[in-house]
Structure 1
Amino acid sequence: MSSRELTSLRQRWTAYQDLPTLTEHWYWRPGWHAGRHFYTWHLAFQQQPALHRHVTDLQQQLAPLPGLDLVPLDGLHLTTQGIGFTDEVPDNDIDAIVAEARQRCAALPPLELSLGPVDPDAEGIGLLVQPWNPVERVRTTIRAAIAAVWPVVPEPADGFRPHVTIAYSGAPAPTAPIRARLAELRRLAPVQATISEVSLIALRRDDRTYRWSTVATAPLNG
């Protein structure tokens, strides 16, 4: 684990010790409402049996605790780069961005990632993703693809922290029992995953769960 990942993990766990209650994750962000979809690039983890077994084991330990909404296995993802709401982005622009992304991502190798240990904050419990550098390189490549079509790329370039959420905070529940359980779960070894494509999805929120349809993929073939 590099110094950046280790520093982040330690700082976030220290901050979690001083957190009295969870912050509900499911408030509506600007522009969002029921039934609205958002174009975004994600790394998806549908075909990852080792990760699914690991997450299932973790979620079985977390399920009795109040205030947590467990993420379905087919909803595991790593948010990478947003584009915009589907009712605001022209189809021609999406086609052009996808073409640019496929051309650029073809030069990048598949991602060999380690997921774990558990890494909580006020709005959820995630798995630390490492190493960060290749994931950041994929994001930079996607941003370059968008910049080839649009004069301004949505979302800040800085502040990106790769993670995969396994449970969202669904209510302002006390964190003390969660911290006690996580202190044990943090000792579990991470699992490995190979990701060979980036997915452009149309994301929506349904009943306190993120769901999506895949619009296109950009293979990592380098």
Structure 2
Amino acid sequence: MASSGPFPRQPPDSTSDPDAIARNDWNAFAEIEILRDHWAVKQWTPGRTGYYWYLTFDDSDLNALAADCQKALAIGGVDPVPLDALHLTMMGVGDTNVVSDQQIDELVSFARESLSEVKPFDLTVGPLSGSRSAIRFSVAPWDPLLDLHQILSVCTAQALPNSSAPNSSRFRPHLGIAYNNTDRAAAAVIDAVAAVRTARSVTVRVNQVELVVLRRDGHAYRWTTRAVLALGG
């Protein structure tokens, strides 16, 4: 399987059916032969910071599910995502040394107006699956996330006309709980994930989007919030 591009390479048969989404995620993960070191694959220059659109969750049920799965996996060679850093990445905007404060202010203004027309929605988080370098939950449905991604992409292109706004056809929503930190055969990790795959799922409410300034601290992603934009105004 190719080591770059969206994962899974093909979207699910249905972007509204949780079973189809989970099945597509799992089938792609189960075919992986080699897991990559996330921190080597995802290059990050020391001191770099960048703007990203994030969904974050202050949800005790989600935290409990993630903690239970992290504990149950009991495998070496992974870095669990801190429970206060669980997130769903919508898209990157640009490095802070490239994007100006004025552009960010314009972006926030465009997005605030556009998101005022978007209604809050619920997401099902789970079951567990993985990617080429991480262990992560499937999330469903994708439809409201794809719509949200498209809106943010348009707003980003408006505020940063020289940037390459991400294509929504390549967006694969997910919520990570651990990053693989060494190159290795995938079979044992896939088996470990399969053993806890029947863990419960949870429902979370999406009622806002955050623009964050992201940094990498060791083997974890951390951020400060630049703006919080409510859905539906």
Aligned to 1:53: 64
Verify: 1:157 aligned to 2:132, yes or no. no
1:60-97 C-alpha deviation (Å, 9 max, x unpaired): 012x2122111001111111121100011110000010
Aligned to 1:34: 46
Q: Which runs of 5+ in 2 are unaligned?
A: 1-11
Verify: 1:217 aligned to 2:228, yes or no. yes
Q: Find the aligned partners of 1:48 and 1:9 in 2 and give their Cα distance.
A: 21
Q: Find the aligned partners of 2:128 and 2:24 in 1 and give their Cα distance.
A: 13
Counterpart of 1:90, as a letter, is S
Verify: 1:70 aligned to 2:80, yes or no. yes
Q: Which runs of 5+ in 1 are unaligned?
A: none
Conservation of the 8 A alpha-carbon contact between 2:54 and 2:91: yes
| Aligned residue among 52, 56, 71 for 1:44 | 56
Counterpart of 2:46, as a letter, is A
TM-score (norm 1): 0.90
Q: CA deviation at 1:50?
A: 0.6
Q: CA deviation at 1:7?
A: 4.2
Verify: 1:143 aligned to 2:153, yes or no. yes
Q: CA deviation at 1:131?
A: 0.5
Aligned to 1:183: 194
TM-score (norm 2): 0.86
| Aligned residue among 34, 43, 61 for 1:21 | 34
Counterpart of 1:83, as a letter, is V
Look up the SS of the partner of 1:155 in the other structure. Answer: coil
Q: Find the aligned partners of 1:78 and 1:96 in 2 and give their Cα distance.
A: 23
Look up the SS of the partner of 1:171 in the other structure. Answer: coil
Conservation of the 8 A alpha-carbon contact between 1:201 and 1:215: yes
Mark the CA change 1:149 to 1:117 in structure 2 (over 3 Å): closer, same or farther: same
Counterpart of 2:75, as a letter, is L
Counterpart of 1:213, as a letter, is T
Conservation of the 8 A alpha-carbon contact between 1:96 and 1:149: yes
Aligned to 2:112: 102
Mark the CA change 1:19 to 1:145 in structure 2 (over 3 Å): closer, same or farther: closer
Verify: 1:121 aligned to 2:134, yes or no. no
Deviates more, 1:148-157 or 1:99-108: 148-157
Q: Find the aligned partners of 2:171 and 2:32 in 1 and give their Cα distance.
A: 22
Q: Find the aligned partners of 2:30 and 2:159 in 1 and give their Cα distance.
A: 44
Counterpart of 2:232, as a letter, is N
Give % identity.
33
